[in-house]
Structure 1
Amino acid sequence: MQKNRAQFYALYLTRFASGFGFITLAALLPTYLNVLDPQSGIVVGLFVSGLTAAQSVAVIPLAWSGDRYDKRTVLLFSLVVSIVAYASFPLVESSWGFIAARALQGVAITGTGLITLALVGELSTADTRANHIGKANAARFAASILGTISATALYERYGFDVVFGVIVALLIPALVGVLLFVERDDTRIEGFPFADMALNRKLLTLTSFRAQYAVAVTMVRTWIVVYAGVEAAKGGLAYAPIAVGVVLIAEKFTNMLCQPFTGRLSDDYGRALFVFVGGGIYGLVALVVPSAPAIGQALSLPAAFPVLGALSPAFLPLVGLNALLGIADSFREPASMALFADEGVDGAGVASSFGVRELVWRPGSILAPILAGILMTGPGIQWVFYVGGIASISGVLTFFGVLSYSYGSEALTQW
């Protein structure tokens, strides 16, 4: 029992270190744009899409390697790549150098995320799997909060070298922890399990929800921050960066607090039910986001706050709604991940199962920002949340329909 606990802690630390690196660099992306000053719009786009493209390319080979060989070795390789990637950023002197470093970061993030979750799922018993996955995700959200708060402050005071030194300093203990405490994985799956998992009936049922939910979450999670910070002429609330940070952290904080608890509940009462409820609530809350100003005025809420200064009556409702989005997603995420792990753990290929989960998310996460941009400059920014909310509700209704047709309506509480 003690040995197993040490393995989980090493994996949680890996999840934290990887998440801290990802969010810190995301927070510094505008700074890199200013420093490197790329003149081409295509190059600017590659600052973002270079990471996504590398992640997409890396999923299948890393998932295959995790199932075919020792997952611990693949995870150690991914951590070494992470250290090399983040150590290379202070040396970057051109836009193309930054894009190359981002691509290497994308491979590292994919490997650490995919294999860490596969090992957590494999080490867990069926009745504790969502709880352990929830704890791993909570570590990632804790890193996101800390990285969001510290990234800009560290850069402004010490520069890039110290920022990336801190990331490497977190990744090295994670590497040592995996090396010392995580046992070698003796599961060896011949052939190409990714193809089998892609056609798995249960995973196809989950995909009917996840493909649509990717659009919802990408639009809502990204644009609620845009809505808070963009100028009023573009439909936003024009809050200062510190206030936007509070709005952003609200969702991560509630998600972090709730996931271990909601994961445990989904272990006890049915994972599919929690996917359905979480996705449905997420969609309903998203539809309410554009009403934050009206809610604030109706309740006569304050328009100025200590430290934050003058904002508007919409501030508290927006923070509250984003916190509710975090709670809703905390119902969905560990339950969904556990369902993917359930299908792969029994010799079918748990890394490939998570690889399928990762790839299903990609189309929506790439297309949603484009759609959101069109909606924002066309009918208005409120339509980003309306379309995102509808996509989430449509996803859960499709999921329930496919689930009921294939397995019966009682599968909602039996899965």
Structure 2
Amino acid sequence: MDRSSLRFPALYLTRFAGGFGFITLVTLLGKYITELDPSATVVPLLGITLSAGFVIGMFTTGFTLAQTVAVVPLAWAGDRYDKRLVLLGVMLLGVVAYAVFPFVDTSWGFVGARALQGVAVTGMGLMSLSLVGELSELGTRANHIGKANSARFAAAILGSVAAGGLYEAFGFSPVFSLIVVVLLVAVGGVVALVPPDDSRVHGFPFSDLALNRRILAITGFRAQYAVAVTLVRTWVPLYATVAAASGGLAYGALAGSATVVAEKFTNMLLQPYTGSLSDRVGRAPFVAFGGAAYGLVALAVPFSPAVGEALGAPTALPVFENLGPAFLPLVAFSGLLGVADSFREPASMALFADEGTDEGGVASSFGVRELVWRPGSVVAPLLGGWLMTGVGMAWVFWVGGAAAISGVVTFLAALVYLYGPSALTEW
């Protein structure tokens, strides 16, 4: 086999490794909340009294703040220097980050470890997607990106199942040992199969790409959609696993894993196909449809108990323990969230790859994409922590669903304003 034909599989493996580590922390977040006990009435930091909801939010916001800080320098380095070398550097940083987690024994230590993980995950995502976009031809770009994302979702499925099962049997340490091994295998694949990147972009392409009309058109949608996805993806497994006193369903770790797997599995199956359709039909219809559908499903998540009771859903299943009637409806809603997002994600990513390739700064284009996402993803966990502890768990999903729908309305208005009424079918 031609060695060059293995470049994409090696990059897909990188996406797999990044997704494997990321989803592990999402799946076990509820268990870390229980283990580290930030749910006390107050938590002191430098003499300042902080609420438990704030610290719970920081478990995710620490990660996203680090991502925000890392985006510009990493994207600039990818365009200015060798993307492959930058990718290898952040992958090794990820090895260090995941090796640290078993030794964390305080809430703020966990926040710090998540910040280190955030830098690694951001760099791996930016560089792997930049290389996939740069190596792909225009008519195949969304399809290749869809395949790369499918690898990430496959990792998410295996990672969440492995995380739940290994944690229940052995605790935290074996989970993170497995992540380190997977990352090191991916490092070997990049070294062996991905050639050095000889493209070089001088200057600071962020400034031009930030004013690109197509990127501007999607910015209003993406900023609001970040709030929706961060809230919903983070709180679905929390809803399944945290104690009933906190508004959750108090299921075990495996039940929480099942909700994550359902969303990732449907997304994994569909993204290569929806990506190919986007290559042929256009980007805008898929972004709008996927975003609207995601919002509607998110609004329905808190009704899982009522749906389960109305349908007479079973409360006892093999392997799973202590289930209620909400379990199967919650898993079904999670799967529908994956279906909805499979339409949006490859089309959105391909749009940024298209514009970045045309403008000579594909890493910076993906960097702009990340920066637009960051404010919502930083604020949303803090908002979710407050909603969860202040007004009720259901409001996390209602606010998330409303943010997705309002983002779609903003996107459609921008399309009509910038390109005319026919933009949805032509753009």
Distance 1:251 1:356 in 2: 26
Distance 2:420 2:177 in 1: 53
Distance 2:361 2:107 in 1: 38
DSSP 3-state at the match of 2:250: coil
Report Cα offsets for 1:364-405 as digits up to 9, x if no partner: 112222323333445433332222222111111110110111
Which residue, out of 138, 144, 148, partners 2:160? Answer: 148
> Which residue does the alignment assign to 1:10?
10
Conserved 8 A contact 2:10-2:186: yes
> Which residue does the alignment assign to 2:118?
106
Conserved 8 A contact 1:197-1:348: no
Which residue, out of 337, 341, 355, partners 2:349? Answer: 337
DSSP 3-state at the match of 1:61: helix
> Which residue does the alignment assign to 2:146?
134
The structural deviation recorded for 1:161 is: 5.2
Which letter maps to 1:351?
A
> Which residue does the alignment assign to 2:127?
115
The structural deviation recorded for 1:146 is: 1.4
Which letter maps to 1:107?
V
Which residue, out of 76, 79, 85, partners 1:64? Answer: 76
Distance 1:95 1:235 in 2: 21
Conserved 8 A contact 2:28-2:253: no
> Which residue does the alignment assign to 1:194?
206
Conserved 8 A contact 1:187-1:347: no
Which residue, out of 325, 335, 359, partners 1:323? Answer: 335
> Which residue does the alignment assign to 1:169?
181
Change (3 A) 1:302 1:172: closer
Question: How does the TM-score come out when normalised to structure 1?
Answer: 0.90
Which residue, out of 266, 274, 295, partners 1:262? Answer: 274
The structural deviation recorded for 1:336 is: 0.5
Which letter maps to 2:381?
P
Which letter maps to 1:8?
F
Q: Does 1:298 align with 2:291?
A: no
Aligned pairs for 1:4-403 within 5 A: 4-28=4-28, 40-42=43-45, 48-89=60-101, 100-155=112-167, 157=169, 162-403=174-415
Distance 1:3 1:268 in 2: 29
Distance 1:350 1:161 in 2: 37
Which letter maps to 1:65?
A
Conserved 8 A contact 2:98-2:176: yes
Conserved 8 A contact 2:149-2:268: yes
The structural deviation recorded for 1:47 is: 5.1
Distance 1:131 1:15 in 2: 15
The structural deviation recorded for 1:242 is: 2.6
The structural deviation recorded for 1:254 is: 0.9
Which letter maps to 1:204?
L
The structural deviation recorded for 1:340 is: 0.7
DSSP 3-state at the match of 1:326: helix
Which letter maps to 1:322?
S
Change (3 A) 1:160 1:370: closer
Q: Which moved more, 1:363-372 or 1:153-162?
A: 153-162
Give the length in aligned residue pairs: 415
Which letter maps to 2:179?
I
Compute the RMSD of aligned alpha carbons.
2.7
Conserved 8 A contact 2:61-2:379: no
DSSP 3-state at the match of 2:139: coil
Change (3 A) 1:287 1:90: closer
Conserved 8 A contact 2:27-2:237: no
Report Cα offsets for 1:80-128 as digits up to 9, x if no partner: 2223333444566777765554433222211111100011111111111
Distance 1:266 1:195 in 2: 27
DSSP 3-state at the match of 1:128: helix
Report Cα offsets for 1:188-239 as digits up to 9, x if no partner: 1111111221222111111110011111111222222333334445544333
Distance 2:5 2:100 in 1: 34
Distance 2:92 2:317 in 1: 45
Distance 2:189 2:180 in 1: 14
Report Cα offsets for 1:42-94 as digits up to 9, x if no partner: 49566544432222111101100111112112112222222333344456677
Report Cα offsets for 1:257-279 as digits up to 9, x if no partner: 11111111111111111000000
Distance 1:299 1:134 in 2: 35
For structure 1, the 5+ residue unaligned runs are none
Change (3 A) 1:81 1:294: closer
Distance 1:296 1:29 in 2: 25
The structural deviation recorded for 1:133 is: 0.8
Distance 1:231 1:67 in 2: 46
Distance 1:412 1:2 in 2: 40
Change (3 A) 1:111 1:206: same
Which letter maps to 1:214?
A
Report Cα offsets for 1:130-152 as digits up to 9, x if no partner: 11111111111111121212125
Distance 1:53 1:74 in 2: 20
The structural deviation recorded for 1:26 is: 4.3
